[in-house]
Amino acid sequence: METKMVTLKINDISVTVPEGTTVLEAARSAGFNIPSLCFLKDINEIGACRICVVEVKGARSLVASCVYPVSEGMEVYTNTEKVQHSRRLTLELILSNHRMDCLTCSRSAHCELLQLAGDLGIDAVRYVPDNLMPRIEDSAPHLVRDNSKCVLCRRCTAVCRKTQEVGVIGPNDRGFATHIGSAFDRDLNEVDCVSCGQCIVACPTGALAEKDDTDKVWAALADPTKHVVVGPAPSIRVTLGECFGMPIGTNVEGKMVTALRRLGFDKVFDVDTAADFTIIEEGTEFLHRLQNGGALPLITSCSPGWIRYLEQHAQDMIPNVSSCKSPQQMFGSLVKTYYAEKMGIDPQDIVVVSIMPCTAKKYEVRREEQRLPNGCMPVDVSLTTRELGRMITKSGFLFDHLPDGEFDEMLGVSTGASVIFGATGGVMEAALRTVVEKITGAGMAPLEYREVRGMSGVKEASYELPGRTVRVCVASGLHNAKLVLDGVRNGSLHYDFIEFMACPGGCINGGGQPIQHADVRNFTDIKTLRAAALYQQDEGMTFRRSHENPVVQEVYQSYLGEAGGHKAHALLHCSYIKQKKYRT
């Protein structure tokens, strides 16, 4: 059906846009930026903050442009004296209930509220908050909430409820007492939070932040008795540059390695290598179930936010989940066993630091089910991309001037299959590259499986293999995961292999990734730009299938034995268990 177009005037400029477009979007297309605070496209479209108000000829009052649809012949004015006065007064009232410790706030360089104050010309606050004290809630392993900095935009509650369908936070009380919290104001560790951190990247201020564990890393680096090893996840190389103002989707792998080495880490390895091990173990597990009648569909276990959700809300599906540890945990397991033995280092003296796109990894490193036979936990500290960015800044490195470095080889060689783990569909495609070749024979399998790529919330495909059709599904964002699970349970959906990622778009959009202003998030396809950089690196890799990785081959031959064997299970697998589900 042909899209109906609407012509209107914005600041006396004629603009033609599709019917149903909001005034805010129409203005943007015409080159006019309307400030906003509560608006996140497709997530929080409630017109509550009133920062985005505009004048519409014939309307009795100012209207919220983020929810007001265009109409034929409409005349809009986005920056009149009346509009400016309203925005400034509204923002001053918001600031009157906001603790302003901007110099020491973790979001001082990326605070939308601070930028709004500058853009709207507020150089003094008439309604200064009186003795507003911090209101800290830090019970969860991944997050700190300070409601004294909350502006009640509800972006965090919208993403938790709508995108993730977890809904553990929302507005409590009424009027001036309104605040964001869990039901009955319980601590976050007493509700069904999955630690995904999507609320953090949605928040426009410093009201939500990841727990900063950089002090633990600085202490380890300063301790001469500790051997400190670091490994970044696949997606970090295409997002870290954003912390230093580089364009979205810039691959900074070489500069990242150099920065890590200059920070003082004894070894700089790559979690991509562990991702290749994940495919070998998970692919072996899938083939065993496919050929021997195991529980299908097999469901991936790389995303700890998804695993947390499964263990609380879909306990009947636990037998379907792969027993493989995530790449982060496999990485730590190999460092504290294979690497420790090769180098003659007591694993108790090794500190493993991971750089992750994910705040749920901070929860994962504490899981007792992951403990190794030698008594060690695989990973000691998990940092987000943002935390690494702060460490680099604190050290005074000019990141964009750093030369390119290379990973240490023992656990630093990877394939294109592991690189694409960072995007939704990447784990599935990597698995198919290996599994299909093992079924059909070397040289017989395609190298790319584009059907499972892209940012659609749910993707599915079927592949004809000797003796059977293999049906696969990829879903990202817990709302979409729930839809797929419901279909599998009621028999309307039939798959053999499913990839679930807690965060929409996968790890490239994780809760620990660099903060982007709502203006960028609303009008730029960040996920696609970041994913494209991963696929571009994949295309240029020497090895593009996980089983081709020479490090993986050597470790199995000299140390682990056969894939899926006893030793591999002891080190690279674990049990996922039923978790307590709280009433919300």
Selecting among 86, 182, 322, 382, the annotated active-site residue is: 322
Selecting among 105, 111, 302, 503, the annotated active-site residue is: 302
How many angstroms separate the CA atoms of 234 and 422, rounded? Answer: 5
The residue behind tokens 């021997």 is 292
Selecting among 149, 255, 336, 361, the annotated active-site residue is: 361
150: number of CA atoms within 13 Å, CB side? 27
Catalytic site includes residue 460: no
Beta strands at 179-181 and 170-172: parallel, antiparallel or unpaired: antiparallel
Torsion over CA: 226, 229, 230, 233 (sign): negative
Say which residues have a Cβ less than 8 Å from residue 23's Cβ, sequence separation at least 6.
Answer: 10, 34, 54, 56, 63, 65, 66, 68, 69, 70, 74, 76
Catalytic site includes residue 281: no
Maximum CA pair distance of the chain?
79
How many angstroms separate the CA atoms of 225 and 221, rounded? Answer: 10
Q: What is the length of the chain?
A: 584
User: Which of 572, 556, 495 has its CA nearest to residue 323?
Assistant: 572
Torsion over CA: 326, 327, 333, 337 (sign): positive
Catalytic site includes residue 369: yes
- Here the tokens at position 48 are 């509550």
- 3-state secondary structure string, 246-289? CCCCCCCHHHHHHHHHHHCCCEECCHHHHHHHHHHHHHHHHHHH
Catalytic site includes residue 546: no
Catalytic site includes residue 112: no
Selecting among 72, 341, 369, 409, the annotated active-site residue is: 369
Selecting among 25, 137, 285, 548, the annotated active-site residue is: 285
User: Which of 355, 276, 352 has its CA nearest to residue 545?
Assistant: 276
Selecting among 38, 203, 507, 574, the annotated active-site residue is: 507
Selecting among 25, 282, 437, 499, the annotated active-site residue is: 282
Catalytic site includes residue 302: yes
User: Which of 449, 501, 508, 451 has its CA nearest to residue 480?
Assistant: 501
How many angstroms separate the CA atoms of 178 and 187, rounded? Answer: 17
Catalytic site includes residue 548: no
Torsion over CA: 358, 363, 365, 371 (sign): negative
Selecting among 253, 311, 364, 437, the annotated active-site residue is: 364
Task: With H, G, I as helix, E, B as strand and everything else as coil, classify residue 570.
Answer: helix
Give the helix/strand (H/E) hosting 475: strand 468-476
Catalytic site includes residue 492: no
Q: Strand locations in 108-244, DSSP E?
A: 136-137, 143-146, 170-172, 179-181, 208-210, 227-232
460: β partners: 473
Give the helix/strand (H/E) hosting 91: helix 81-95
CA distances from 56 to 22, 67, 454 (A): 13, 13, 39
Beta strands at 227-232 and 350-356: parallel, antiparallel or unpaired: parallel
How many angstroms separate the CA atoms of 421 and 530, rounded? Answer: 12
Q: Which residues are catalytic?
A: 282, 285, 302, 322, 361, 364, 369, 507
